Amino acid sequence: MRVLVGVKRVVDYAVKVRVAADKKAVDLANVKMSMNPFCEIAVEEAVRLKEAKKATEVIAVSIGPKASAETLRTALAMGADRGIHITTDLRTDQELGSLSVAKILAKVAEEESPDAIILGKQSIDGDFGCTGSMLASLMDVPQCTFAAKIDFDASTVERETDTGTEIVKFPGLPAVFTADLRLNEPRYATLPNIMKAKKKKIDAKSIEDLGVELSEGNEVLEVFEPPPREAGILVEDVDGLVDKLKNEASVI
Amino acid sequence: MNSRKLTLLYQRIRVHNKYQQQQERRRHYCSIERVKKLSAQFRRIASECGEDVEATVLEPDLKGGDASLDKYTTCWRGKWGVKGGEGRGNIVLRPSTTECVRGFVELCNKEGAKVVPQGGNTGLVGGGVPEGYDEVVLSTVRLNSVMSLDSSTSVITLSSGVILSDAIRHCADLGMLYPVDIGSKGTCNVGGNVSSNAGGIYFTRFGSIRDNLVGLTAVTGRGDVLEVGGCAMRKDSKGMDLRQVFVGGEGAFGIITMVKMRVWKKPTTREVAVVGVGGWEEVERLCERAQERMGGLVSAVEVMDRRVLELVKEKVGGGGMGWVGGARYYVLVETMGFDDERDRETLERFLEEVMEEGTVEDGVMAKGEEEIEAIWGVRESCGVAVNRAGGSWKYDVSLELRDWEEVGRMVEEKVRGLGGRLVIWGHLGDRNVHFNVVREKEDGGEGSDITDAIEPWLYEEVIRRGGSVSAEHGIGQCKGDLMEELIVGEAGMEYLRGIKQLFDPNHILNVGRNKTFRERDK
């Protein structure tokens, strides 16, 4: 089984972001970037499949500027075999939309013919969570999103829902899976693997070379910080609560 | 040092024996009437200063013996300090303004009440907790209203009770780095850091508190509010400067109420790797290489031996320990710089080199901030793990790297027969090792046999090798006896006593710390 994993270079999870002066984007200058945490989980899952001898090859793919190659190196250091870097100068946190990403990945999948595609459930900059589903739809293959556990032998996936988990059965491969938090705990990149990763291959090509026509993205009107969280208040009794919910919060 | 003095010194050191300490403590008794009288007077002053009296003056419950004030009167390890009980207790004061601190100190001078200044009470040498019941604890925890960073002068002004991690975060949010970073940052106060001249992980790269302190405000033992340094411009060569009297003063000269610290531009890149090596020679080589190959990029080099890591796994647990393997020592290397493109590569290249030459057995490199925090979390849990293991004896010394292993072996030999074992961790970059002897509770727990086996031999050995007996933990109640003989010398001590007399003529501050400040005949 060949596995294709998508990895995205995003603002590091621990960084406190700031809004850019023109309020059209997040300020990325001098900000620490790393691999999207859900992509890390996706890579980990793929590497474990290889270790369990269920997968023969793990290919990591990333879309982004020159520095995305670093993200691919990280995937290689975790155990991926080779990388594909689709270069672009568009901002991957807002200019390159989910549908465009899905189209690019679909084209890559066409060329690589993977049996399984594992993506993170969402990226922590865009938070759209659409790419996986859109990709499956473009490729006309089954999708198992928010996966907490994937069983390739039984062809089932335990997926997260708002109320708990459910087990779904997928008809077969190829299929798209998106990784949720509980799928696994990603490994550290060990030194020997980091060194080995330097010798692994990364193929780079631009979106134009790939021959993909991008969809129009969303237009960002404004980026602003959420209002600061206000302190809670105490209410006298149930009537007071109902009154506040109705007249102040307007939720009932 | 002649043998007669040595004998006297050994005798005094043995007074640290816990049993005898208890005997001494019973002498430091305080009557209920006096407690009530003082308490009423403190309340009056607090009210005059516009304080919230209930929050500021905490009176001990002398009838019931509730333990609510124990967190102020005993240290977090439970080793130093006194517990409240029936008929016994300490008043705890928590002013929120300099004016109130001044009022309290003035009253204590009048009434002859002894004062123990206290920050976050996270110290390891009993410097911030009372010796007896006749001492009033003056805590800075509510002195936290000011936290203001001036980015044009790179100076941050902080009330002394601001919690260190808050100061660090505030600076980080504004792209600056606060130069002090220690394991207790979630609780300790910045004023306390200055009073104890705390070291920490960024000592090597960003310098000591002595280097970074721009100014401070303190209430002296006499009750004067002294503002020292504090010119808005950092480069201010005023000549004679009183700042350094308070750094490391451990509250003996005054109570710090405001701190002005130099902050640094926060590096934009941060990479951490932790590697396992087989022996001490390799540790030394790694440390040397790191400086050679990466120079100013290195911000911290720490070491932990496998034993302390096993303790952390067992007693503290938590995730992020996937990198711990079978190597004898683990070295954490951190770099911080400003070149997004090349800094990670520089560390990778260094790691490749040391791997190829065989210095390093295994290791990992953090992928992002979360892993960096996880790895540091393990390092910062060493002290906690040891504390949970049972009886622990802590020695914080500075020694040349080549001496660490040898001295460590000597310590092991001395305690093995008593059921103790040595675990080591430390700041390689500053040559500051934390020797910790652990004896699991089942084998015997606390006891003076191990103390007697190690002290004062270890201190002498360290000094003989040109090291420091207290690299960063301070003197407190723990090492006061060593001040004159081993640290400062007779002549030096006389000058220090003179300064003490000037700042605190009635000897009310931190009596019992730096024992040699006490009048000799008492």
SS (H, E, C) B244-259: HHHCCCCCCCEEEEEE
Q: How is residue B29 written in tokens?
A: 């008794």
Number of neighbours of residue B456 by Cβ within 10 angstroms: 20
CB B271 within 8 A of CB B343: yes
Per the CB < 8 A criterion, the answer to whether B509 and B251 are in contact is yes
CB distance from B348 to chain A under 8 Å?
yes
In this predicted model, what pLDDT tens digit does every residue of A63-87 receive, in sequence order?
999 999 999 999 999 999 999 999 9
Cα–Cα dist B483/B459, whole Å: 11
* Residue B266 in contact with partner chain A when CB distance is under 8 A: no
Short-list B287, B270, B365, B361, CA closest to A198 = B365
| Distance (Å, whole) CA A123 – CA A137 | 19
**Residue B317 backbone zone (phi > 0: left; psi -120 to 50: alpha; other: beta):** left
**What are the residues facing B392 on neighbouring strands?**
B438
Say how far residue B446 (Cα) sits from the centre of its chain: 22
What distances in angstroms separate CA B127 from CA B173, B379, B499, B515, one per listed residue? Answer: 32, 24, 19, 11
pLDDT at A179 over 70: yes
Contact B49, B97 (CB under 8 A): yes
Q: How much helix, strand and coil, in percent to the nearest 5, is found in chain A?
A: 30, 25, 45
Which helix (H) or strand (E) segment holds residue A196: the answer is helix A191-199
CA gap B222, B224 in Å, rounded: 6
Q: Which residues of B339-405 form beta strands (DSSP E)?
A: 362-365, 390-398
In angstroms, what separates the C-alpha of B173 from chain A's closest C-alpha? Answer: 7
Q: Is B326 on the interface with A (CB under 8 A)?
A: no
| Stretch (H or E) spanning A73 | helix A68-78
pLDDT at A101 over 90: yes
Model confidence at A185: pLDDT above 50? yes
Look at residue B402 and give its three-state secondary structure.
Answer: helix
DSSP state of B516: G
Residue B156 contacts residue B212 (beta carbons within 8 Å): no
Show residues of chain A in contact with B322, CB under 8 Å. Answer: 187-188
Cβ proximity of B308 and B259 under 8 Å: no
Q: Which two tokens stand for residue B52?
A: 């919230």
A191 and B362 within 8 Å at the Cβ level: the answer is: yes
Q: Which residues pair with B457 in a beta bridge?
A: none
Percentage helix, strand, coil for chain B under 3-state DSSP, each rounded to 5 = 40, 20, 35
Give chain B positions within 8 Å (CB) of A15: 369
Residue B487 near residue B398, CB atoms below 8 Å: no
Residue B37 has a pLDDT of 93
B361: closest CA of chain A, how far (Å): 9
Instruction: Please tell me which of the candidates A15, A70, A188 has its beta carbon nearest to residue B371.
Output: A188
* Token pair 């919910």: residue: A245
Q: What ipTM, to 2 d.p.?
A: 0.86
The answer to whether B198 and B472 have CB atoms below 8 angstroms apart is yes
**pTM for this predicted structure:** 0.83
Q: Using CA atoms of B332, B338, B342, B347 in order, give the dihedral in degrees to the nearest 10.
A: -10
The residues with which A85 forms a beta bridge, in sequence order, are A62, A204
Chain B residues closer than 8 Å to A190 by CB: 323, 362-364
Amino acid B415 reads V
What are the helix (H) ranges across B213-279? 243-246
Cα B479 from chain centroid (whole Å): 13
Which among B267, B210, B201 is positioned nearest to A32, based on CA atoms? B267
Q: How far apart are CA B398 and CA B470, in angstroms?
A: 7
Partner A contacted by B364 (CB < 8 A): yes
Q: Determine the pLDDT at residue B522.
A: 38
Q: So what's the pLDDT on residue B520?
A: 42
Residue in the structure block whose two tokens are 């007697």:
B452
Q: Is the Cβ–Cβ distance between B131 and B82 less than 8 Å?
A: yes
Give the CATH superfamily of A2-247.
Answer: HUPs (3.40.50.620)
Q: Which of B276, B271, B333, B286 is nearest to B309 (CA)?
A: B276
Scanning every residue of chain B, which has its alpha carbon at the shortest distance from the alpha carbon of A14? B369
Q: What is the pLDDT of residue B13?
A: 65
B340: closest chain A residue by CA: A30
Contact B351 A74 (CB under 8 A): no
Task: Give the minimum alpha-carbon distance from B41 to chain A in angstroms, rounded to a whole number.
Answer: 37
Q: Which residues of chain B have pLDDT under 50?
A: 520-522
Q: B403: which 2 tokens? A: 């001496």
Nearest-Cα distance to chain A for B307, in Å, is: 22
Longest dimension (CA), chain B: 73
CB contact (8 A) between residue A188 and residue B275: no
With the C-alpha atoms ordered B451, B456, B457, B459, is the resulting torsion angle positive or negative?
Answer: positive
Query: From the CA of B235, how many Å to the nearest CA of chain A?
Result: 29
Length of chain B: 522
Residue that the structure tokens 């990895």 belong to: A7
Total residues belonging to chain A:
252
Choose among A15, A40, A67: nearest Cβ to B369.
A15
Q: How many CB pairs under 8 A join A and B?
A: 67
Antiparallel, parallel or unpaired: β B213-220 and B254-262: antiparallel
The residue behind tokens 């006593």 is B497
Degrees, nearest 5: CA angle B336-B341-B346:
55
> What confidence score (pLDDT) does residue A153 get?
94
Please give the full DSSP string across A114-160, using - where no structure is assigned.
Answer: -SEEEEES--TTT----HHHHHHHHHT--EEEEEEEEETTTTEEEEE
The H or E element containing residue B262 is strand B254-262
Question: Is B462:B448 a contact under the CB 8 Å cutoff?
Answer: no
